[in-house]
Structure 1
Amino acid sequence: MGTIDSRHQLVPETYITHRKTGEHIKSLSVVCAYMKCPVAQYSLKNKINIIPWKPQKDQLQGADVGFVVSFGHLIPQSIISSFPLGMVNVHASLLPRWRGAAPIIHTVLNAETETGVTLMKIRPHRFDCGEIIGSSKLKIAPQEDAGTLTRRLASLGSAELQSCLKSLTERLGQAKPQTETGASYAPKVDASMSCCKWAEMTASQLHRRHLALHHVFPLHADWQGQTVKFLECSPMEKTSSLSPGFVDFSKKHRHLEVTCNKQSVLTVNQLKLSGKKVMSAMDFVNGFLKKVPVDLWKFGNGECG
């Protein structure tokens, strides 16, 4: 069961194992909330049985266990109990850390150095609180973004699931309750989190948001009434004498330098205005900055809500 995107490898690798060896899996079906999702498209291409959400009990007959990844729906007891071995969730954090919808993004937002995947029993009425049957850790590189981390966790989660399937009954029998110590919540994110509040955030804080969100919500601000998105940026080890939001151009480095909170500086190498193509910093200078007085060389906060 899942709505996972094409970067996740759970269904493909489980399917390949099933086709190559016949071990551990006699049959495989996929439950999808909508048919346009990559999991459904993969299943159609490879002739894997697809069951629409919400499945009827008779559609699940013969299945021993259900696995869920990034599904986003509370699963009722009637469906959970349809599986003799219950249901297992593959979650992209080391539970109880970062329960909720966006664990990878919040992991990167908080500049954590370690994360992993957790396999847990699904319980009705609450997300990500079931007993743990397995987990695996990995280290996070200092400048790793959420997109890269998602792909690595997908591989790790797939490997952990393959391992789990080899001894599923034993693992279920040895499941351990989650502790509430260290528990945290990772709520859904939206575009407002990527809004550049120049006077409130330092360059490092904005760059951290870039690492966490740019694959879904690039950093954005306002330029002369237009939304501008910053596609490549990084903090600079220098301070500025300008006010927050004001922008300068470095001829030496060929990048924009935007002043942030505490006079810190965010460099921008690539950006995009609404309705325009992606442009370099030099393109922006020639096409936009040079057409207004220097005292108007300033990015606004945009629609920060």
Structure 2
Amino acid sequence: MLSKMRVEYILAKTFVRQNFKSYRRFSSSGPPWSVVFFGSDNFALSSLQMLHQELISGHYVRNLSVVCAYMKCPVAQYSIENKLNIIPWKPHIEDLQRDKPEIGLVVSFGHLIPQSIISAFPLGMVNVHASILPRWRGAAPIIHTVLNGETESGVTLMKIRPHKFDCGEIINTSKISVGVSEDAESLTARLAQLGAKELQFCLRNLTSSLSQATPQKDSGVTYAPKVSPIMSACVWTELSAAQLHHRHLALHHVHPLHADWHGQQIKFLDCVPCERSTDSAPGLISFSKKSKHLEVACNENSVLAIKSLQLKGKKMMTAMDFVNGFLKRVPRDLWKFGNGDVS
């Protein structure tokens, strides 16, 4: 019996053949292309900026419209500032086909594209995804890459298929190394530029790139669901200092690490693992006079150094500020952080 992936691949090939005549009516079979771009955030913005420059030059883009779900997102704001045609989500097919588009390009859009919209483009739709597929399918691939301490990441260009995220045939994959202490913001910026570059190359060789797409492997699939504040909770008895540091690098820009200080939530804004180990119970706090950092015992006898932190409703403070303003005001046996809120 044919595997489900193989059946989808055959159906996709059939779709291309059935739409070839339509494609010939709308296109000269080569660039410059009529493009509709679907995007939202700063990761998508790099690709839109590239497409805008291609539109200005006229070499590979002759028409460019932009589909946005939210008018306050970076993609929408850039489109307004540069007088690009904006089509609100969910678009009417007549609006999409106004400029006889040949290809739809999707970067960090966040919505499933229905078959009716995919079929509006004679060449289908191409998505730029920030991982090496089939690893980290889903909404937050970069965060999960950093969260898991991976040393390699990349971007994948793939064909869009209806009903499921990130399962289409792969057009191309480009890989980069992840720095030891690189955070999700830094990696996002680098991958955004890489994605724009790979999309530009695909656009310049569009028909050949699409014809060479191959089905994704059935093995090695992992998922990157949306993140939540629970993921940044410090559970000292379960997580090592290295694991907490990875969470800090992955999440600090959206959900800083947090714990409990005698009934108050406290956030850790900068932290690193210590090289030393400890026999202290997880959550116990000490202060290093040499480094002027708080040192917190974690799982696996590891130690996390806290450089700066913030109590709820108060300004950011250094570790020394916390020692003088809070730690010294309680008995030594109460120098302990409780677990963060996981409810």
Q: TM-score range by the shorter chain?
A: over 0.9
The 8 Å contact of residues 169 and 216 in structure 2, kept in 1 or not, is answered as: yes
Q: Does 1:164 align with 2:202?
A: yes
1:55 aligns to 2:124 (yes or no): no
Aligned partner (choices 86, 99, 113) of residue 124 of structure 2:
86
In 1: Cα distance, 2:264 partner to 2:82 partner = 45
Aligned to 2:13: none
Query: Does 134-143 or 149-158 show the bigger shift?
Result: 134-143
Task: Spell out structure 1 runs of 4+ moving beyond 6 A.
Answer: none
Q: Are the equivalent residues in 2 in contact too, given 1:101–1:187 (CA < 8 A)?
A: yes
1:64-83 map, 5 Å: 64-83=102-121
- Indicate whether 1:103 and 2:146 are aligned: no
- Please give the alpha-carbon distance, in whole angstroms, between the structure 2 residues aligned to 1:261 and 1:117: 34
Alignment-mate amino acid for residue 194 of structure 1: S
Relative to structure 1, the CA distance from residue 100 to residue 301 in structure 2 (aligned partners, 3 Å threshold; closer, same or farther) is same
Q: Which residue of 2 aligns with 1:115?
A: 153
Do structure 1's residue 183 and structure 2's residue 221 form an aligned pair?
A: yes
Give the CA RMSD over aligned residues: 1.2
Corresponding residue for residue 47 of structure 2: 10
- Note the residue ranges of structure 1 that are not aligned, 5 or more in a row: none
Q: 3-state SS of the aligned residue for 1:239?
A: coil
**Shift in Å at residue 100 of structure 1?**
0.9
Q: How far apart in 2 are the matches of 1:98 and 1:302? A: 26
User: Based on CA coordinates, which of the two structures has the bigger radius of gyration?
Assistant: 2
Residue 27, structure 1, aligned to residue 27, structure 2: no
Deviation at 1:8, TM superposition (A): 4.3
Corresponding residue for residue 170 of structure 2: 132
Give the length in aligned residue pairs. 304
CA distance in structure 1 between the aligned counterparts of 2:243 and 2:334, rounded to whole angstroms: 25
Q: Could you say which residue in structure 2 is the equivalent of 1:230?
A: 268
Give the whole-Å Cα distance in 1 for the aligned partners of 2:272 and 2:179: 16
Distance 2:44 2:94 in 1: 31
Question: Matched residues in 2 for 1:235 and 1:248: separation?
Answer: 14
Secondary structure at the aligned position of 1:27 is classed as: strand
Q: Deviations over 1:112-154 (max 9, x none)?
A: 1111101111000111111111221111112211111111000
Give 1:6 shift: 6.4
Q: Alignment identity in percent?
A: 63
Which residue in the other structure is 2:322 paired with?
A: 284
Structure 2: which 5+ residue stretches go unaligned? 1-37
Q: Is the 8 A contact 2:44 2:75 kept in 1?
A: no
TM-score (norm 1): 0.97
Scaled by the length of structure 2, the TM-score of the pair is 0.86
